[in-house]
Structure 1
Amino acid sequence: MTGVMYAFATLGPALGYIIGGQMLNVYVDFNRVDSSRVSITPEDPRWVGAWWVSFLVGSSAFLMIAVPISMYGVELPTAKTVRETRVSEMHGDDGTYISSLAGHSRSLRNLPIALLQIIRIPPFLPIALAGASEGIITSGFATFMPKYIQNQFGVTAGWASMLTGFMVVPGAAGGQFTGGYIAKKLQLKVQGCLRVAIIACIICLIMAAALWTKCKFDRIAGITLPYSNRTNDNLPELITECNSHCGCNTEFYEPVCDKTSKIQYFSPCHAGCDTMSSDGKFYSQCTCVPVDPITNSSTVAVGKCESDCHLLYIFLPFIFILIFLTFMPSPPVVSATLRCIHESQRTTGIGLKWLIVRLLGTVPGPIFFGAVIDSTCVIWRENCSEKASCWIYNNSNMSRNFFILFIVVKAFSMIAFMTAYRLYKLPVDMKVRYSVGSAEVTVVESPSEHDAISSHDVLADKSLVI
Structure 2
Amino acid sequence: MNGQSKGEEASCFLKTTQHQISIDAEETACGLWCFKGPILQKFANKKAYVILYGLLGCVFSASFAYFNGTITTLEKRFKIPSRTTGIISIGNDLSQLLMCVILSYYTGRAHRPRWMALGMYTVVLFCFLTALPHFLYGAGADALFLTEEFQVTANTSINVLLNTPKKNLCTNETSKESLCENESGSYSPQLILFAAQFISGIGGSLYYTLGVSYMDDNIKRSKTPALFSFSYFIRMLGPAIGHGLASICLKIYIAPTLTPMIDNTDPRWLGAWWLGWIILAFILLIFASLLALFPKTLPRAAIRKEVKRQASKIGNVTTELEPLPSLKDMIKTFKRLSSNKTLMLNNFAAIFYFLGYMPYWIFLPKYIETQYKQSASISSLITGSAGLIFSAIGILLSGIIISKFKPRARYLAAWNVVVGAISVLGIISYAFLGCSNNESSFFSNGEISTVTECSSNCHCNFVKYNPVCSSDGTTTFVSACHAGCKKVMNINESEIFTECSCVTNDNISVGVDFVVPGSCPVDCLSQFYIFLGVVCMLKFSGATGRAANFLVTVRCVEEKDKSVAMGFGLMLMSLCAFVPSPILFGIIMG
Would you call these one fold, judging by a TM-score over 0.5?
Answer: yes
2:94 aligns with none
1:288 & 1:354 partners in 2: Cα distance? 54
Q: 1:190 aligns with which of 409, 419, 422?
A: 409
Trace 1:219-298 onto structure 2 (pairs within 5 A). Answer: 219-224=439-444, 237-240=449-452, 242-260=454-472, 262-278=474-490, 279-290=493-504, 296-298=511-513
- The residue type equivalent to 2:427 in the other structure is A
User: 2:90 matched to which residue of 1?
Assistant: none
Moved more, 13-22 or 279-288: 279-288
How many angstroms apart in 2 are the aligned matches of 1:371 and 1:344? 42
For the pair 1:111 / 2:330, whether they are aligned, the reply is yes
Going from structure 1 to structure 2, the CA distance change for 1:85 and 1:147 (only over 3 Å counts) comes to farther
Pairwise CA distance, 1:334:
0.9
Q: What secondary structure does 1:277 align onto?
A: strand
Partner of 2:244: 18
What is the TM-score when the length of structure 1 is the normalising length?
Answer: 0.68
2:218 is the alignment partner of 1:6: no
Consecutive unaligned residues in structure 1, runs of 5 or more: 87-97, 227-235, 375-466
How much does 1:73 deviate?
A: 1.3
**1:362 counterpart letter in structure 2:** F
Residue 29 (structure 1) aligned with residue 249 (structure 2): no
Query: Given residue 65 of structure 1, which amino acid in structure 2 is its aligned partner?
Result: F
2:523 to 296, 308, 313: 308
> Shift in Å at residue 142 of structure 1?
2.5
Residues 256 and 188 of structure 1, relative CA distance in 2, 3 Å threshold? same
Q: CA deviation at 1:223?
A: 3.0
Does residue 177 of the first structure (1) align with residue 396 of the second (2)? yes
Match of 2:369 in 1: 150
The one-letter code matched in structure 1 to 2:535 is I
Could you list the runs of 5+ residues in structure 2 that have no partner in the other structure? 1-226, 309-317
**Cα distance in 1, alignment partners of residues 576 and 455 from structure 2:** 49
C-alpha change, 1:103 and 1:266, in structure 2 (3 Å) is: closer
Whole-angstrom CA distance in 2 between matches of 1:144 and 1:282: 33
| Structure 1 position 294, deviation (Å) | 8.2
Residue 35 to residue 132, structure 1, CA distance change in 2 (3 Å): farther
4+ runs deviating over 6 angstroms? 81-86, 291-295
Aligned equivalents of 2:353 and 2:453: distance in 1?
Answer: 51
Are 2:573 and 1:361 aligned?
no
Instruction: Measure the CA separation in 2 of the matches of 1:225 and 1:122.
Output: 49
Could you tell me whether the CA contact under 8 Å between 1:190 and 1:340 is conserved in 2? no
Change (3 A) 1:49 1:120: same
1:216 to 415, 436, 440: 436
Counterpart check, 1:136 vs 2:360? no
Q: Is 2:419 aligned against 1:205?
A: no
Relative to structure 1, the CA distance from residue 369 to residue 240 in structure 2 (aligned partners, 3 Å threshold; closer, same or farther) is: closer
SS at match of 1:301: strand
Measured against aligned partners, the alpha-carbon deviations of 1:157-195 in whole angstroms (never above 9, x if no partner) come to 110111001125324443322332232122123212212
- Aligned counterparts of 1:80 and 1:127: Cα–Cα separation in 2: 31
Q: Report deviation, 1:150.
A: 1.0
1:60 matched to 2:282:
yes
Deviation (angstroms), 1:200: 1.4
Alignment of 1:76 with 2:298, yes or no, is yes
Determine if contact 2:471/2:512 at 8 Å carries over to the other structure: no
CA contact (8 A) 1:217 1:224 kept: no
Specify the alignment match of 1:164 in structure 2: 383
Partner of 1:413 in structure 2?
none
- In 2 relative to 1, CA 248–316 (structure 1 residues): closer, same or farther, beyond 3 Å? same
Q: Are 1:271 and 1:289, in contact at CA under 8 Å, matched by a contact in 2?
A: yes
Give the structure with the larger strand fraction: 1
**Matched letter for residue 249 of structure 2:** M
In the TM superposition, residue 23 of structure 1 has moved relative to its aligned partner by 1.3
Give matches, 1:270-419, under 5 Å: 270-278=482-490, 279-290=493-504, 296-310=511-525, 311-374=527-590
Query: Contact conserved, 2:388 with 2:539, CA < 8 A, in 1?
Result: no
SS at match of 1:247: coil
Aligned: 1:48 with 2:260: no
Cα distance, 1:106 vs. partner?
3.5
Q: Is the contact between residue 391 and residue 543 of structure 2 (CA under 8 Å) also seen in structure 1?
A: yes
Structure 1 position 127 matched with structure 2 position 340: no
Distance in 2 (alpha carbons) for counterparts of 1:136 and 1:191: 24
CA contact (8 A) 2:230 2:396 kept: yes
Measured in 1, the distance between the counterparts of 2:235 and 2:304 equals 23
Change (3 A) 1:35 1:2: same
Identify, as 1 or 2, the structure richer in helix.
2
Q: 1:76 to 1:238 in 2, by over 3 A?
A: same
- Contact 1:210–1:319 at 8 Å: present in 2 too? no
Q: Distance in 2 between matches of 1:65 and 1:305?
A: 46
Q: Secondary structure in 2 aligned to 1:35?
A: coil
Backbone CA RMSD of aligned residues: 2.9
1:67 to partner: Cα distance: 1.3
> CA deviation digits over 1:392-428, x for unaligned, max 9?
xxxxxxxxxxxxxxxxxxxxxxxxxxxxxxxxxxxxx
Q: Is the 8 Å Cα contact of residues 387 and 537 (structure 2) preserved in structure 1?
A: no
Partner residue in 2 for 1:456? none
Query: What does residue 96 of structure 2 align with?
Result: none
Secondary structure (helix, strand or coil) at the match of 1:50 reads coil
Query: What is the alpha-carbon distance in structure 2 between the residues aligned to residue 85 and residue 134 of structure 1?
Result: 42
> Secondary structure at 1:281's aligned position in 2?
strand
Identity, % of aligned positions: 24
CA distance in 2, matches of 1:154, 1:174: 30
Question: Aligned to 1:215, what secondary structure does the other structure show?
Answer: coil
Partner Cα distance (1:337, 1:237) in 2: 50
Look up the SS of the partner of 1:276 in the other structure.
Answer: strand
On the 8 A contact 1:149/1:160 being kept in 2, the answer is yes
Counterparts of 2:434 and 2:307, CA distance in 1: 53
Deviation at residue 249 of structure 1 after TM alignment? 2.2
Q: Please report how far the alpha carbon of residue 145 of structure 1 lies from its aligned counterpart in structure 2 after TM superposition.
A: 0.7
Deviation at 1:72, TM superposition (A): 0.7
